[in-house]
Structure formats: structure tokens, C-alpha cells
Structure 1
Amino acid sequence: MNKEMSLLFRAIPLMMGAICLAYGLYIWNRGPTPDNVVSGHVVTFLTAICIALFSTAATIIRQLTDTYGPGYRAALPVLGYAAGIIAVICGLTFVARIPHADGFVAGHVVFGIGLITCCVATVAASSTKFVLIPRNSKAAPDTKPDNAFNEGTATILLAVPIICTVVGLAWGFALLTKQHSGSEYMVAGHVLVGLSLVCGSLIALVASVLRQIQNTYGDREHRSWPLLVAVLGGINILWGLAVLVSGDDPARLAPGWVLIGLGIVCWSILSKVLLLALVWRRSFPLADRIPLIPVMTALSCLFIAGFLFEAGLDEPAYYVPARIMVGLGAVCFTLFSIVSILESGTSGGD
């Protein structure tokens, strides 16, 4: 990877994060209406995911360009985890201190974004030994590589996205059991479950990276991990469609469309998991086309946002999902950077 491309792939997450931050703050400061509070908070904190993705991008690129020192090994994952922890704390604070339904919804969604950010930061932490992947791909199966993670470290890293997924699902379903108490429980519950399924997709990514670094990636995992992510994305999309057709209450529109957007994000993550599977100990001539997947998912989010903006002229309930979908499009495009880096790193080892 040349210097110019390495700079570009590191700049993309930062640019998308800046867009989410600027757009979110713009919405946030337009006025204290419920729609502005929810969409402003959510879009602003999508910046945290972009920061964690930058940590991942920089971690891998610096290894590929031989500029990865001990300071970066510690600082980059810490940056991602810091963004995630801040989002989690802010989400809990919003739930506790904003005494309205909009604060309740925004707080739970920001909390879920924080969980995703912690999972992405774990991808960065798992990738600190990324250069072992192309080497192991050419080595004999089950050969213990030098400098791989010890079993305890690998277990802890894999446990992070699993815990985030379980916590998010448990809290989301708990909210759904109380949806008769108000629409805010229904909205927050559905979206938090959807965010947790994104965390579930990141389990597959962390596991794929770890097991290839440990050289324990088996034949069945070529199919099982990509299938898991594809199924979770499909569940989000089908769940969103089910919510949209579940009745006439306008409150269903925001969670329905956001769930669809989160399903699209899962399929963006699929591109990374799929690439790792397809090039492991085999040749895949179309590997350099896989980065087109997050480009298509980003465009899908933006096209959907365009339709929702138009629909919002007649139905105000489309206001929130239209703006959140723009932020999700930025996250998907950030994943294009990560997949392109993975493609460069794995093909370099062939």
C-alpha cells in the first residue's frame, strides 16, 4: 500500500465522523423539539463508531506500511474504547436526566451506539497482530504461529462483543415488554435490539480475525461466520418491515426504517467477514470487488434517506429516520475504507 492510499483510507473514517458530528450538532441546535433531540443526539454519536473504525484502519495500515510502534499498538484501540465508553455513559445520562420521551429514546439509542463502538474497538484490538493473517494463510493448518495472542487474551477479546450483544438484547427486549406503557418503550426497544444485532455481526468479525491470527480458522468457518452476519442483517431488515406494516401508528415509522438501516449496516460488515473467509488459504480473483459492497450499502442508505425526506413533507414522523439514515450511510461508507485495507493486506500475502 502506497503512502497516498494509506492516507486516504485513514482520512475516510475521520471525514465521515466529521460529517456525522457536524450534521448531528446542526440538527441538535435547530431547536428543542422531540424530533431534533432524538435525531440530533443519534447522528452526533454515530461519530463514535467512525472514530473506532479509524482506530481499526490505522492499526492495520501502520502494520502494512511498517510504521506500527508500541505507542500506536496501545493508543489506537484505547481511542476506540474511549469513544465507546463515552457514548455509553452519555446514553445512560440522557436517559436519567432528560425527563421526556425524546430523551428516553435518544439515550437508549446512544447507549446502543456505544456498545457497537466498543465492539468495533475490539476489532482494532484484535487487529494489532493483523500481519500474521497473510502469513498463516500460507502456513500449515493448526501450526501455532509465533507472537499470536495467548488463549486468555483471545478469549477476553471475543467476550467483549458477545457481552455487548447480550446486554443490548436483554435491555431491548425488556423495553419491548413495557411498550404498553408508551410509544417511547416500543421505539427504544426495537432500535436497541437492532443495534445489538449489529454487535452480533461484529462477533463474527472479531472471531474471524482472532482465529486467523491464531491459525485455528476451520473449513466450516468459511461459511458459518458470513452466514451469521447475513442472517442477522436479514433479521433486522425483515423486523423493520414487520414494524412498518404492524399498524397505523406514526410512531412505528422511525424504528421500522432505522431497523432496515441497521440491517444494511450488518451487510456492510458482511463484506469484511466474507473477504477474510474467501481469501483464507485459497485464491479468489474477485476479492478486489468486495469493497464495492459497502459502497452499495452506503448508497442504499442515502437513497432511502432521500425518499424519507420527501415523505416527510406529508408525514412528520419520517423526520427522524430520514436523518438517521444519512448517518448510517456515512458509517457504511467508512466500512468501505476498512474492507479496502483488508483486501490490500490479505492480497499482499498471497
Structure 2
Amino acid sequence: MNYKISVLFRAIPVLMGAVSAALGGYVLAHASGPSARVAGLVLVFLAAICLCLFATAATIIRQLIGRYTALDRLLYPVFGFAVAGVATGYGLWLLSGTPPSPPDFIAGHVIFGVGMVCVCVSCVATVSTRFLLINENSALPERSPPRSPAPFGPLAAGILTTLPVLAALATWAWAFTLLAGGGGGVAAGRFTAAHVMIGLALVCTCLIGLVAGILRQIQNTYTPRERVLWPGSAAVLGAAGIVLALIVISVHTRPSQLAAEYVLIGLGLICWSILSKVLLLALVWRRQAPLANRVPLIPVGTALLCLFLSAFLFESADPAVLVSARVLVGLGCICFSLFSIVSILESGTSGGGDGGKAGNGGRPATNGR
């Protein structure tokens, strides 16, 4: 990978996070009303996901350009988990009021869910600390034995696969508690928070497959079944979120329902952006994939869809959707940050790194095919 391009790919998540946080700060400072507080706080903390994606990008890129150090191996995962801790803690702090105001009730739940997504993304950054082994393992024949000694021991591998599962379960459980009428707050606030948290739970669930896929390719335990399982599950989860949102929009009876469902559509599009990463890993594993370099177009498309939907909602005469129009800008920033990650993966697994890969259809030269 060209060094200047590597700098650009690392800068994209940071710049997207800055855009989201700056818009959130502007809304908090210059807009009025409860919806402005919700949108502003959520936009600021959506930048946390972009920062965790930066940690993932930097972890992979510094390996590809041969500048990865022992400090990097520790620094970037710790940075990601620290950002996740800040987001989770702030969300819980907003909910600690007795009782929290309606805007803080919604924002607190959403920011807590964002923190859970950050935990999952930080697990991706952690498993990516051995990223270069994916190419080495991919050059081996089918049914080759797992790496010995394993790059990640049983305890480390168990923790890295369990953390995203726990984050997803926590988000799902809290969302269904709100739907069932628990958790306090008024009915409209519970409805909004629950549906947005469902979308965040879908994102966490997609990231389980990404963590597992990267980890198992590094350990050389990736199976043909997973080649279909992880991309298929991400595609279905994204579609489920979008379909649920469209159903509720079509039968809505309260204006507050609209804002939550448009955000849920954006979170479904993020699931499809994650699909691009899982799909790319599946495509290039021990096979030629001439179309692998087209996969980064998926997050570009989802980012544009988020921004187009945001623009249409800004033009809507219904003030109830203004909060979702603002939040969709932040979701578009996350999608475009994922474009950077997918492009890095494509470069690293399809012969674009500095690891001596030849251009025989995107496979390593040592593969002999």
C-alpha cells in the first residue's frame, strides 16, 4: 500500500467523526427544543464509532506498510475500548437522573447502544493485530491444520468472541425491556429508544460475524460454511431492520414513531456496510476473486443513501423527522468510514499490501495458482 494512500485511509474515519461531532455540537449550540438535544448528543457520540474504526484502520495499515510496533499492538485496541467506555458511561450517566428528562432518556439509551457498538468495533481492532496471518493462511491448501501455536490462545479467543455477543445481548435485552413497557419514561420515549436500540443491536450482531471471521481466518480454522454464514447473516440483519422500519412507517399513528424508524433504516444500511467487510473476507479466502475490488462500493452506496434520505427528510414539512434527518448525517459518516476499512481489507487481502503479493487475480504469489 502506498504510504500517502495509507494516511488518507486512516484520516477518513477521523474526518468523518469530526463532521458528525461538529454537526452535533452545532445543533446543541444553535438549535432549540428537546429533539435538538437528542440529535446533538447522538451525533457527538456517533463520532465514537468513527474513532474506533480509526483504531481498526490504523492497526491493519501499519502492518501493511511495515511500521507496526509492540506499542501499536497495545495502543490502538486500548484506545478503542477507552472510547467505548466513555460512550457507555455517558449514556448510563444520562439515565441516572431521577427521573431523566425525556430527551436524556432517549439520548441515554441510544448512546449506551453506541457504546456497545464501540465495544464490538474495538474487538475487531484487537483481532486485527495479527491481520497479516490471513494472507499466509489463505495461501495454504484446504483442510490444512490450525496454526500451532495459535496466534490467540483459548482464553484470548474466548474473550474476543464473547465480548461482542454480550454487547449484542445487552442491547437486545434492553430494547425488548423498553418495548415491553419497562425501563421508565413515557410511552413515546420508550418506543423511540427501543427501536433505535434494536437497530444498534442489529449492528452489534453483524459485528459478531466480522470478529469471528477475522479471528478464524487468523487461526486458520475458517470453514466453507462460514463463507456463507457470516455474509448471509449480515445481509439478513440489515434487511430485517429496514423492513421493520418500513412496516412501522406505513402504519404509524404517532409522529414520534417516524423519527425512530428513519434512524432504524440508517442502522440497517450500516449493517449492509459491515456486510461488505464480511463478504470481502469470504470472497478472497483461498480463491480468486476478480470482483473483490468492487466490494468497497457497497459502503459508498449506503453512505449516499443515508445522506440522500437525510436531505429528503430535511425538506419534509413534518417537524417530527428533523431529529432523524440530523442523525442520518452521522450514520452516513459511519458508512463512509467503513468504506475506508473495506478498502484497506481489499488492499491487504488482494495483493495491495507491501507483503510481496503478485497480481494473479488477487491471490498471493506464494499460492502457486
- For normalisation by structure 2, the TM-score amounts to 0.92
The reply on whether 1:174 has 2:177 as its aligned counterpart is yes
Shift of residue 147 of structure 1? 5.6
Matches of 2:7 and 2:203, distance apart in 1: 28
2:92 alignment counterpart: 92
User: In structure 1, what is the Cα distance between the partners aligned to 2:36 and 2:80?
Assistant: 27
Alpha-carbon distance in 1 for matches of 2:113, 2:152: 28
Q: Is the 8 A contact 2:273 2:338 kept in 1?
A: yes
From 200, 203, 208, the counterpart of 1:203: 208
Partners of 2:308 and 2:297 lie apart in 1 by: 16
Does the 8 Å contact 1:243/1:255 carry over to 2?
no
Q: Determine whether 1:156 maps to 2:148.
A: no
- Give 2:113's aligned amino acid: G
Answering whether residue 64 of structure 2 is matched by residue 70 of structure 1, we say no
Kindly provide the amino acid, as one letter, of the partner of residue 154 in structure 2.
E
1:331 aligns with 2:331: no
Q: Give distance in 2, aligned partners of 1:222 and 1:95.
A: 40
The count of corresponding residues between Structure 1 and Structure 2 is 348
Deviation at 1:99, TM superposition (A): 2.9
Partner of 2:5: 5
Give the partner amino acid of 1:108: H
- Asked if residue 144 in structure 1 is aligned to residue 149 in structure 2, the reply is no
Matching residue's letter, 1:77: P
Matched-pair identity in %: 51
Structure-2 separation of matches of 1:61 and 1:85: 25
Distance apart, 1:151 and its partner CA:
1.9
Match of 1:272 among 268, 277, 290: 277
- Per the alignment, residue 107 of structure 2 pairs with 106
CA distance in 2, matches of 1:330, 1:247: 28
Letter of the structure 1 residue corresponding to residue 269 of structure 2: I
* Partner of residue 217, structure 1: 222
Partner Cα distance (1:147, 1:23) in 2: 45
Q: Distance in 2 between matches of 1:147 and 1:159?
A: 18
Q: How far off is 1:32 after superposition?
A: 4.9
User: Are 1:54 and 2:54 an aligned pair?
Assistant: yes
Are residues 1:306 and 2:308 paired?
no
Q: TM-score, normalised by structure 1?
A: 0.97
Distance in structure 2 (CA, Å) of the matches to 1:194 and 1:11: 27
In structure 2, distance between residues paired with 1:332 and 1:213: 25
User: In structure 1, how many angstroms separate the alpha carbons of the residues matched to 2:31 and 2:285?
Assistant: 51
Q: Which residue of 2 aligns with 1:125?
A: 126
- Deviation string, structure 1 residues 230-272 (Cα, Å, up to 9, x no partner): 0110111011112212323101011110111000000000000
Q: Please say if residues 151 and 219 of structure 2, whose CA atoms lie closer than 8 Å, have aligned partners that are also in contact.
A: yes
Q: Which position in structure 2 is the counterpart of 1:24?
A: 24
Q: CA RMSD in A?
A: 1.3
Q: 2:367 aligns to what?
A: none
Distance 1:142 1:150, change over 3 A: farther
Select 1:256's aligned residue among 236, 243, 261. 261
User: Is it true that 1:80 corresponds to 2:80 in the alignment?
Assistant: yes
The amino acid that maps onto 2:61 is I
* TM-fit CA distance, 1:181: 4.6
Contact 2:280 2:292 in 1 (8 A): yes
Hey, what's the Cα distance between the residues in 1 that align with 2:262 and 2:26?
22
Give 1:229 shift: 0.4
Once the two structures are superposed, what CA deviation does each residue of 1:3-58 show, in whole Å capped at 9, x if it has no partner? 11100000001100111111111111124510111000101101100000000000
Comparing 247-256 with 134-143, greater Cα deviation is found at: 134-143
Matching residue's letter, 2:278 = V
CA contact under 8 A between 2:150 and 2:219: conserved in structure 1? no
Give unpaired runs (5+ residues) of structure 2: 352-356, 358-363, 365-369
Residue 143 of structure 1: how far off its partner (Å): 2.3
Shift of 1:322: 0.1
Distance, in Å, in 1 between the alignment partners of 2:241 and 2:133 is 34
1:184 to 173, 189, 193: 189
Q: CA deviation at 1:182?
A: 1.6
1:317 aligned residue (320, 323, 327): 320
Question: Unaligned stretches of 5+ in structure 1?
Answer: none
Q: Please report how far the alpha carbon of residue 324 of structure 1 lies from its aligned counterpart in structure 2 after TM superposition.
A: 0.5
Distance (whole Å) between structure 2 residues aligned to residue 190 and residue 53 of structure 1: 24
CA distance in 1, matches of 2:144, 2:153: 14
Moved more, 116-125 or 31-40: 31-40
